[in-house]
Amino acid sequence: MITVKEAKTKTDLKTFVKFPFSLYKDSKYWVPPIIKQELETFNKDKNPIFNDAEARFFLAYNGDKVVGRIAAIINWLEVNKQQIKKMRFGWFDFEDDLEISKSLLETVESIGKQNHLEYTEGPVGFSNLDKVGVMTEGFDSMATMITWYNHPYYVDHYKAHGYKIEKEFAESKFPFSNVNPETFTKAQDLIKRRYKLKALNFDKTEDVMPYADKMFDLFNESYASLSSFVEITELQKAYFKKKFISFINPEYIKFIVDEKDRLIGFAIVMPSFAEALQKANGKLFPFGFIHILKAKKNSKDVIFYLIGIHPEYQNKGVHALIFNEYYQTFTEKGIETCYRTPELEDNEAIKKIWKHFNPVVYKRRKTFRKDL
């Protein structure tokens, strides 16, 4: 018999975080999180998302054995400001037993009904900067640090419990050798002159920080039209600056400004930490941080994490300036493969930006919903 219990204590939450370590212990492709960082994400005193959202964490037991987990999330900005009556769920992992997944999903559905919400959707995180989607293709490719990995049977469980596809995402990659600079060098010169723009490059993290708030403001503006978007608040900006910016190579952050020094475009790329995180196995000490620092310095694979263009400059070729800067940086560093984070399948604008590099889709993922 499966029982579901809420994870309330520090010990419970650590059990919640560590469950996938046993579920995927034999997987070559699963990438473990840093346990300490994951716990901080769920800490109401440290993560400012909890000023505008609430979450409850549940573990499924078969006797004394943990066999599944799920996070039930309500983002009140989404519910009250956007009038999207959604019950979110994420961090959803389980052994291949329909009773386990059913018990966990019914727990989330019950919370949604108690709060008069209209439907559940997942797997998603608290916001757009969290992981999203259950993998439906690409199980023989290593995950990244910013995506969830899952067993193929997960999808069957969603369907068995009456969940329908809500959103579809694709992840693609291309060898850096595919990049022909002629596709953007002439264009970027013309666009610079026409709109009086310039690119900013950085060698030190402290030089990035004065622009960080502007970057998150631009993120809010440039992504506002997406159906899944929830804005980043002022408190969250400070949190993300501390969590992300110091973790990223400053030379992998590119800003585009106009003649008044107004930020109109940005991009963030991260080195691939997947193999380093596998070696760290959830712990920074004693040796995990060494593997991560080596990857930060030496990784020949990069992940395009975010690209944002001000609505006034969208469809005007500003991305050519960004690509030109990255081309020079990647050439110097000997980058071999470029990966892209999950992007909505119906986002035709982003597909046009990348088409010259002949990317290949190597993973697909979906979110699922159920009306309450």
Q: Are 316 and 353 in contact (CB under 8 A)?
A: no
CA distance 341 to 358: 16
pLDDT for the residue numbered 239: 84
Instruction: Please check whether residues 211 and 327 belong to one and the same domain.
Output: yes
Same domain, 18 and 108: yes
Q: What is the CATH number of the domain that holds 182?
A: 3.40.630.30
For residue 144, pLDDT over 70 is answered with yes
SS3 state of residue 171: strand
Pairing of the two strands 360-371 and 134-137: antiparallel
Integer angstrom CA distances of residue 165 from 119, 134, 324: 13, 11, 37
Which residue, of 156, 171, 186, is where some domain finishes? 171
Identify which has the larger pLDDT, 211 or 278.
Answer: 278
- 180-207 per-position pLDDT tens digit: 999 999 999 999 999 999 999 999 988 9
Query: Residue 237: its pLDDT value, please?
Result: 83
Among 118, 140, 171, where does a domain finish? 171
**0.85 cut: is pTM over it?**
yes
Looking up tokens 């986002």 gives: 347
Task: Give the pLDDT confidence score for residue 199 in this predicted structure.
Answer: 95
Residue 367 lies in a domain: no
Domain containing 344 equals 175-359
pLDDT band at 245 (very low <50, low <70, confident <90, very high): confident
- Element of type H or E holding 191: helix 185-195
Whether residues 241 and 138 share a domain: the answer is: no
| In a shared domain, residues 185 and 147 | no
Does position 8 have pLDDT exceeding 80, yes or no? yes
Kindly list the distances between the CA atom of residue 104 and the CA atoms of 93, 259, 329, in Å, as whole numbers in the listed order: 10, 54, 46
Per-residue pLDDT tens for 268-325? 999 999 999 999 999 988 888 899 999 999 999 999 998 889 999 988 999 999 999 9
Are 154 and 241 within one domain? Answer: no
pLDDT of residue 286: 87
Omega into 123 within 30° of 0, i.e. cis? yes
pLDDT for 227 equals 62
Question: Is there a domain that residue 55 lies in?
Answer: yes
Do 115 and 198 lie in one domain? The reply is: no
Q: Kindly state whether residue 365 falls inside one of the protein's structural domains.
A: no
Closest CA relative to residue 57, chosen from 24, 10, 127, 116: 10
Asked whether residue 184 falls in the same domain as residue 330, the answer is: yes
Number of separate domains in the chain: 2
User: In the listed set 171, 202, 232, which residue is the last one of a domain according to the structure?
Assistant: 171
- Predicted pLDDT of residue 228: 63
For 86-109, what is the mean pLDDT? 98
Residue 137 in any domain: the answer is yes
List, as one string, the DSSP characters of 71-135. EEEEEHIIIIIS---EEEEEEEEE-S-HHHHHHHHHHHHHHHHHTT--EEEESB-SSTTS-B-EE
